[in-house]
Amino acid sequence: MAVTTKPRWVLAICCFSLLIVGMDATIVNIALPAIQEEFDASVSQLQWCIAAYTVALASLLILGGSTADRLGRVRIFKTGLTLFTLASLASAFAPSIGWLIAFRVVQGVGASMLNPVAMSIIRNTFEDPRERAQAIGIWGAVFGASMALGPVVGGLLVPLSWRAVFLVNIPIGIAAFVLTSRFIPESRALRARRIDPVGQLLAVVFLATLTAAIIEGPSLGWTSKTIALLACAATASLIAFIGFELRRREPLVELRFFQSRPFASATGIAVIAFAAFGGFLFVNTLYLQEVRGLSPVDAGLCTLPMAAMTVIVSPLSGRVTGRRGVRLPFVFGGVGVFIGSLMLVTLAPDTPLVWLLLAYSVFGAGFGALNPPITNTAVSGMPADQAGVAAAVASTSRIAGQTLGVAIFGAVATAGIDDSLAAQLADSSHAAWWLIAASALVITALGMFASTASARSSAADVAARLQGAQA
């Protein structure tokens, strides 16, 4: 089949594919009570239903991008679509909670071949810098919006069956595969980065063991031998990763990037913001259905104000970032997340619905303002040939943050529950809302720290050293 290159079609296909990647990071939240009822799952198993996908996705994003540069972007993109679609089908017919978690891991592996590769395809297709910037802006907005819309779409599908949240991926995946074959030409990097198998393995071990320790800590006991072993494995793998990457000529993650204050701040903001977002969705989904007794449809509709504000504010934040810099969007976003979380610190089973929807709206506006300046700050001042890697690290930080958010805030919110979610979750969640509010203050401080003249100077110094090392 001949391939016809049409830039707008290429952008639409990439966005279409990323729609399911983003939605699957959040759509399952609304299905958790139904999954729990069918499989008699524990809270930690429900957390793994979310985290299994995001751990695999976050761990393998950079590998997916470098492999595509080496073997062919369309080839890897189609491989990812195939794997993601088949894993979605398997998840829809999972016979037990254990199998569902396993299939979610495979989904994450497939998704890791879509997110960074789509960015590479877009960068390769749009040659005009202005058109490329606009295309990347649309791509980023679609991905952020898809995560916010996940619970809404899930709310419409779960009444049919919780399995429908996975079946919806099948026609989208097939259509994207066919359209990719028709409209996207194959491309490769002129000089692909070397594969870093040791660094990749250490990254997977670190994120998986850290997540496991946080999720399983409340049920096994924080002083248990299992948690101690997981904590030791996470610490050892992190130390080994840093030591190995510092000695490697082409590391998986260029640690010298972190000498740039804007890059280091953007990475921290990405982790914290998406941790807050992941924890916010996880706890609220359980609260709306288990405590308030809402149907999946009603629970999904309750999250619509948050999704709507995210979709509305994100492009506005992008414009402000381009015209006035990143400080105002970061401060606005941090304050929005802070106020939205603070409104829930007295959450009760009978909290007025209007108050909840207002809190969701404020939180959504804050979260929507944060996403555009994260990538802008991460790549600011970086050499052109390093911008893609810097953006990939920022994307990895987003997904890793969401993984940790589900684990940390889910564990905090349910730590005091010894009877039932319905009876105790509202009161037990107060500590989680205080913690999310505190994290928002850190976001605000980092945003200001990243946008000073000395911060921009540090980015320029790092870029000069990186260019000098390559010369």
Quote the pLDDT of residue 1.
Answer: 47
63 Cβ partners below 8 Å, 6+ apart?
Answer: 112, 195, 200, 252
**Integer Cα distance of 295 and 110 in angstroms:** 31
Whose tokens are 């802006």? That residue is 137
| Confidence check: pLDDT of 341 > 70 | yes
Task: Specify the pLDDT at position 233.
Answer: 94
Q: What is the DSSP letter of 27?
A: G
Closest CA to 395 of 203, 152, 143, 169: 143
User: Where is mean pLDDT largest: 129-133, 292-296, 337-341, 377-381?
Assistant: 337-341
Torsion of CA 254, 237, 450, 308, to 10 degrees: 110
Tokens of 228: 């101690």
Fold of 258-466: Growth Hormone; Chain: A; (1.20.1250)
Name the DSSP letter for residue 301.
H
* pLDDT mean over 146-153: 80
Rounded-to-integer distance, Cα 238 and Cα 217, Å: 20
Calpha distance 303→326 (Å, rounded): 27
Interacting residues of 422 by C-beta distance below 8 A, sequence separation 6+: 290, 291, 293
Provide, rounded to the nearest whole percent, the portion of the chain with pLDDT above 90: 30
Give the model's pLDDT for residue 141: 67
Whether 108 shows a pLDDT value over 80: the answer reads: yes
Triad 10, 14, 18: Cα angle to 5°: 170
CA 367 to chain centre: 13
- In sequence order, which residues have a C-beta less than 8 Å from that of residue 111 and are 6 or more positions away? 21, 24, 53, 56, 57, 80, 84
The DSSP string of 328-362 is: HHHHHHHHHHHHHHHTTTT--TT--HHHHHHHHHH
Tell me how far apart the alpha carbons of residues 465 and 150 are, in angstroms, rounded to a whole number.
Answer: 42
Same fold, 1-190 and 258-466: yes
Q: What is 1-190's CATH number, 3.40.50.1220, 3.30.420.40, 3.90.950.10, 1.20.1250.20?
A: 1.20.1250.20
- pLDDT, residue 17, reads 78
Sign of CA dihedral 423, 424, 425, 426: positive
The domain segmentation of the chain, as residue ranges, is 1-190, 197-249, 258-466
Write the CA distances from 261 to 1, 80, 320, 452, 457, integer angstroms: 48, 34, 21, 9, 9
Q: Given this model, what pLDDT does residue 79 score?
A: 93
Higher pLDDT, 98 or 386: 98
Structure-token pair, residue 263:
């890059």
pTM of the model: 0.82
